[in-house]
Structure 1
């Protein structure tokens, strides 16, 4: 991993509880997927929230930017419905219906109309996609979650000087 896992996270603004085995098992059952090990490892350090501010370089332009997509936060797994959060991968089934997203996605970040997702449409091992429903974008980002995380750069790298 290019980024030190212990230097990945910033604020847990929504105060997500620590990830437990029961929460992980429930999430994989609800979403009907096996989540990538590296995602689970990151969520064990902090169960979602704001990152230190990263972006993934893109060869293809998106509605976000001509050369990158953002990862300023990463959704956690929050099964407790009394915790109000905008950063919960368990909102995926609702958001798929609400926004007309492709099936077999797990939302990693975004807030409509765009998301970065784990895409399970073609395999049990997901690729990473950029989806912007308003603009009809469904763009390949990385072959795996590991490739995505390993390819992250500080977002400041993309700020024009």
Structure 2
């Protein structure tokens, strides 16, 4: 297990621009939290201040997990949505969460960090409330299955590993 600081230092894929947004500002954070109605974890904001969304480095693109529809031993975490305007065809952002929750009939309140419709990794505010420290959950929309991953975002990041480390 790596420290949060170790992961943060090489978290983003350096060569892929996909999902990358303009730099995060304090004003964007305030506006986003107001629009989605929750306080975002400071560690998430730290990563988004390094780079506002994008593809995650291969070293950190999976989270070890119990058997699920995706794999027997992990879930993917190949990208992280940044903070920017919702509804842009070119990229998803954290602000697309309210629409996606309705569209895919997902539990609420959650903030979707990564995913593609059939499965998601999200911050789960159902137990902690909008100002609390959310847990991280895997939501498999295809199989109508939720898999609690870890109690907080920092622990999630510290357990990330390379998807290539898992046998197929």
Match of 1:158 in 2: 166
Post-superposition CA distance 1:77-131 (Å, at most 9, x none)? 11276x5433311100000000000010000000111100000000021000000
In the alignment, is the contact (CA less than 8 A) between 2:7 and 2:157 conserved in 1?
Answer: no
Cα distance 1:86–1:80, how it changes in 2: closer, same or farther (>3 A)? closer
Match of 1:69 in 2: 75
Instruction: Tell me the distance in 1 between the aligned counterparts of 2:139 and 2:20.
Output: 27
Q: Show the 5 A alignment for 1:10-159.
A: 10=13, 11-53=16-58, 54-58=61-65, 60-79=66-85, 84-123=89-128, 124-159=132-167
Instruction: Tell me the distance in 1 between the aligned counterparts of 2:115 and 2:19.
Output: 16
**Gap regions ≥5 residues in structure 1:** none
Instruction: Tell me the distance in 1 between the aligned counterparts of 2:114 and 2:161.
Output: 16
Deviation of the 1:12 alpha carbon: 2.7
Instruction: Tell me the distance in 2 between the aligned counterparts of 1:24 and 1:37.
Output: 11
Tell me, what secondary structure is at the counterpart of 2:57?
strand
In the alignment, is the contact (CA less than 8 A) between 2:20 and 2:51 conserved in 1?
Answer: no
**What stretches of structure 1 move > 2 A for 4+ residues in a row?**
1-4, 83-87
Query: Taking structure 1 as the reference length, what is the TM-score of the superposition?
Result: 0.92
In the alignment, is the contact (CA less than 8 A) between 1:12 and 1:48 conserved in 2?
Answer: no
* Root mean square deviation of aligned Cα: 1.5
Instruction: Tell me the distance in 2 between the aligned counterparts of 1:49 and 1:15.
Output: 4
Tell me, what secondary structure is at the counterpart of 1:95?
helix
Match of 1:7 in 2: 10
Decide which structure has greater strand share: 1
**Gap regions ≥5 residues in structure 2:** none
Tell me, what secondary structure is at the counterpart of 2:56?
strand
Tell me, what secondary structure is at the counterpart of 1:18?
coil
Tell me, what secondary structure is at the counterpart of 2:77?
strand
